[in-house]
Amino acid sequence: MKAHNKGQIRIVEAFLSGLIIFSAFAISANLTITQNSVKNDDLAAVGLQALVMLDSDGSLAKYIEDENWNGLRDALNLLLPTSVCFNLTIYDENMQQVNMDTISNGGFSSQQIAFVEYVCASQGVTFRVYIVHLLLAVVT
Amino acid sequence: MPAISIDTFFACSLMVLLVVSAMAASSMLLSPYINGVGNENIAKRYGEIAKYLLLNVGKPQDWGQKSQTIPEVFGLAKARSDIPYELDIDKVSRLNGKNQYALSYATIFSALKMSDVSFRIELNPIFEVAINLTGTHPSVNETIYQFQILTEKHGIPVQAELKGYIIARNYFEAKNVSISDGEVSLNVTLPNEVEGPALLVIIARSVCNAKIVSFGTFAFAHNSGEPEETCNFLKLSPLNYALNVSYLYPEISLLDAYALTFNYYSSLTQTANSSQSVEYGIPYFVDSSPILMAVTGLNSTSFFIEWVAYPQIPLKIGADFTESMSLSDVFAYRYIVTVNSALYECMIWLGGS
């Protein structure tokens, strides 16, 4: 009878200690995710501001209509911080990809990638809307 | 002691040990993240303050243009602008300590009305122009100076169009536009009868976007001694499209004044003068470019050239956080801003006071 009780106590001990350790890990993991999202928000804000500045005089839509992908890449290279790499994709109003060439300044080596969606309108005679998807990451 | 008591003792000890070690490990693991959450709130607050500085026009709205006006509320945005992050050319110029009408850090600190926040603002062109004199080739009638011009952003070459101007005593020359792939060689030929020192001004415009501009200057000896540093003879203060020139020596007399942009240049005409200062009107150029102004003159008999940019950049104002003991509380924010149709990089550092 005594030996049977001892076994029960060991099982309860093991269960409790396991619970404590796992709960500590669970809390830590949740807090880590919060920290990452803040960094991505900052990066997205930087990317959005660069697109807004390019669009402020209609340059962004002009790059797209002229299919001047190299010009757009170089402009983003200048406006974004040196340590940020990007990949840009442009869609028309039917979500068909407009740029057939890659608009990027290098491969992404970071796990933290920020995403910006920006809608810009052409300032030409024919009204067109473009949806710009910008992916950003910090070079590590 | 019965065996069951020993078992219970060890089991209890083990449980206590487990709980204590789990608590210790948890606190060690969590402490940086708990601090991070606190920092996140501070970073968000400072981020909003940085935006406020650039998006708010201040009070009165035209505090930049009026040289004697001290803002009640600080803000750098241009009044009645449709473009986000467009700054007022005069408000920016009044942040530069070299401007006669510059605001002090204490004045801005009071107008910001946030006693627990110290800040630093820097405004620079998006890419740099560096000029090096690589060779001098004198001949009987003229001297050829060879310059290496670099257009770079943090060491990465930038393709740019370059416009050059050369100024010396009673001499002005505008060079043709040349293209730089990040590095280009430029030859400047000066007749030997021209008296120096001479000033080479380069205004660079990015090939990919005409609003991304930068500039550089290089003063060099030509039939003269080595040029002295700028701001040695005159205090040049551009404000509200007027250039105030204050003499730093009593025997100064002015010769010529020029305003230069990428596409245009013009001689400046005097609109007022007194014994110790002169005022020139600055033309409203329709050009996405900073306006560089060069003023030539004599100090007694020795010739000099001084220059200034309008908006008066590069500029740095505010607290020096590099010597702060609490580095962890300083947050940096980078914005692209528009001043007079050209784009610049604005860095704002914010920290606890």
8 Å CB contact of A6 and B208:
no
Chain A interface test: which of B9, B10, B208, B343 (most A C-beta within 10 Å): B208
Q: What CA–CA distance (Å, rounded) separates B58 from B60?
A: 6
Q: Hey, is the C-beta of B344 within 8 angstroms of any chain A C-beta?
A: no
In a domain, B13, yes or no: no
Nearest CA in chain B to A73: B208
**pLDDT (tens digit, 9 = 90+) per residue, B238-274?**
999 999 999 999 889 999 999 999 999 999 999 998 8
Nearest CA in chain A to B24: A24
Strands of the B252-260 sheet, one edge to the other: B265-267, B252-260, B291-299, B302-310
User: Which residue range forms the structural domain that includes residue B295?
Assistant: 128-310
3-state secondary structure of A1: coil
**pLDDT (tens digit, 9 = 90+) per residue, B312-329?**
999 999 888 776 555 457
Best CA proximity match to A136, nearest among A46, A61, A54, A73: A46
Place of tokens 């020795």: B302
Q: Hey, is the C-beta of B6 within 8 angstroms of any chain A C-beta?
A: no
8 Å CB contact of A74 and B336:
no
Nearest CA in chain A to B34: A31
Q: Are residues B289 and B171 in the same domain?
A: yes
Helices (H) and strands (E) in chain B, counts: 3, 22
In a domain, B39, yes or no: no
- What integer pLDDT is reported at residue B1 of this predicted model? 57
Give the tokens for residue B19.
Answer: 């709980």
Give the number of beta-carbon pairs within 8 Å between A and B: 99
Contact B40, B33 (CB under 8 A): no
Percentage of chain B exceeding pLDDT 70: 94
Q: Are residues B257 and B318 in the same domain?
A: no
Residue type, position B243, single letter: L
3-state secondary structure of B252: strand
- What integer pLDDT is reported at residue B92 of this predicted model? 95
Partner A, chain B 188-207, Cβ-Cβ below 8 Å:
206-207
Residue A7: band (very low, low, confident or very high) from pLDDT cuts 50, 70, 90:
confident
Chain B residues near residue A34 by CB distance under 8 angstroms:
33, 36-37, 40
- What integer pLDDT is reported at residue B34 of this predicted model? 61
Q: Are residues B165 and B202 in the same domain?
A: yes
Nearest CA in chain A to B159: A74
- What integer pLDDT is reported at residue B76 of this predicted model? 95
Percentage of chain A exceeding pLDDT 90: 46
Long-range Cβ pairs for the range A32-38 (8 Å, 24+): A32/B33, A34/B33, A34/B36, A34/B37, A34/B40, A35/B33, A35/B36, A35/B40, A36/A112, A38/B40, A38/B43
In a domain, B58, yes or no: yes
Structural domains counted in chain B: 2
- Burial class, A72, CB count within 10 angstroms (exposed 0-12 / middle 13-18 / buried 19+): buried
Which of the 8 DSSP states describes residue B300? T
Q: Hey, is the C-beta of B211 within 8 angstroms of any chain A C-beta?
A: yes
First to last CA, chain B: 65
Partner A, chain B 68-97, Cβ-Cβ below 8 Å:
83-85
3-state secondary structure of B137: strand
Partner A, chain B 142-181, Cβ-Cβ below 8 Å:
153-154, 156, 158-159
Burial per residue of B171-199, b for 16 or more beta-carbon CB atoms within 10 angstroms, e otherwise: beeebeeeebebebebebebeeebbbbbb
Q: Which residues contact A124 (CB under 8 A, 6 or more apart)?
A: A61, A65
In a domain, B4, yes or no: no
**pLDDT (tens digit, 9 = 90+) per residue, A70-108?**
999 999 999 999 889 999 999 998 999 999 888 998 877
Cα angle vertex B336, ends B333, B342, to 5°? 150
Best CA proximity match to B339, nearest among B311, B298, B309: B311
Q: Are residues B292 and B348 in the same domain?
A: no
- What integer pLDDT is reported at residue A130 of this predicted model? 95
Nearest CA in chain A to B12: A13
Distance from CA of B199 to the nearest CA of A (A): 28
Residue A37: band (very low, low, confident or very high) from pLDDT cuts 50, 70, 90:
very low
Contact B99, B237 (CB under 8 A): yes
Q: Are residues B303 and B262 in the same domain?
A: yes
Q: Are residues B150 and B279 in the same domain?
A: yes
Q: Hey, is the C-beta of A49 within 8 angstroms of any chain B C-beta?
A: yes
User: Which residue range forms the structural domain that includes residue A21?
Assistant: 2-138
In the predicted structure, residue A58 carries a pLDDT above the cut 80: yes
Strands of the B315-318 sheet, one edge to the other: B86-87, B331-339, B342-352, B117-125, B315-318
Give the tokens for residue B298.
Answer: 């004599």
8 Å CB contact of B336 and A82:
no
Whether this prediction's pTM lies above 0.90 is answered by no
Nearest CA in chain B to A33: B33
Q: Hey, is the C-beta of B16 within 8 angstroms of any chain A C-beta?
A: no
Give the tokens for residue B250.
Answer: 């009593």
In a domain, B3, yes or no: no
Distance from CA of B222 to the nearest CA of A (A): 36
Distance from CA of B82 to the nearest CA of A (A): 9
Q: Hey, is the C-beta of B22 within 8 angstroms of any chain A C-beta?
A: yes
Q: Are residues B245 and B321 in the same domain?
A: no
8 Å CB contact of A53 and B85:
yes
Q: Are residues B217 and B237 in the same domain?
A: yes
Q: Hey, is the C-beta of B25 within 8 angstroms of any chain A C-beta?
A: yes
Among the partner residues A2, A50, A56, nearest to B83 by beta-carbon distance: A56
Q: Are residues B58 and B165 in the same domain?
A: no
Contact B280, B245 (CB under 8 A): yes
φ and ψ at B324, to 5 degrees?
-75, 145
Residue type, position A88, single letter: L
Give me the residues paired with residue B304 across strands: B297
8 Å CB contact of A24 and B25:
yes
- What integer pLDDT is reported at residue A20 of this predicted model? 75
Partner B, chain A 57-76, Cβ-Cβ below 8 Å:
57, 59, 70-72, 74-75
3-state secondary structure of A74: helix
Handedness of CA A65, A66, A72, A73 (dihedral sign): positive
Chain B residues near residue A42 by CB distance under 8 angstroms:
47
- What integer pLDDT is reported at residue A70 of this predicted model? 93
In a domain, B8, yes or no: no
3-state secondary structure of B92: helix
First to last CA, chain A: 62
Q: Hey, is the C-beta of B106 within 8 angstroms of any chain A C-beta?
A: no
- What integer pLDDT is reported at residue B301 of this predicted model? 86
Please tell me whether the interface predicted TM-score (ipTM) of this complex is above 0.95.
no
8 Å CB contact of A28 and B206:
no
Q: Which residues contact A42 (CB under 8 A, 6 or more apart)?
A: B47
Q: Are residues B69 and B149 in the same domain?
A: no
Q: What CA–CA distance (Å, rounded) separates B295 from B236?
A: 9
Q: Are residues B137 and B272 in the same domain?
A: yes
Structural domains counted in chain A: 1
Handedness of CA B54, B57, B59, B60 (dihedral sign): positive
- What integer pLDDT is reported at residue B166 of this predicted model? 96
Q: Are residues B105 and B190 in the same domain?
A: no
Per residue of chain B (353 residues), give pLDDT as tens.
566 777 777 777 877 787 788 777 777 776 666 666 666 788 888 989 999 999 999 999 999 999 889 999 999 999 999 888 999 999 999 999 999 999 999 999 999 888 888 899 999 999 999 999 999 999 999 999 999 999 999 999 999 999 999 999 999 999 988 888 999 999 999 999 998 799 999 999 999 999 999 999 999 999 888 888 778 899 999 999 999 999 999 889 999 999 999 999 999 999 998 888 999 999 999 999 999 999 999 998 889 999 999 999 999 998 887 765 554 578 889 999 999 999 999 999 998 76
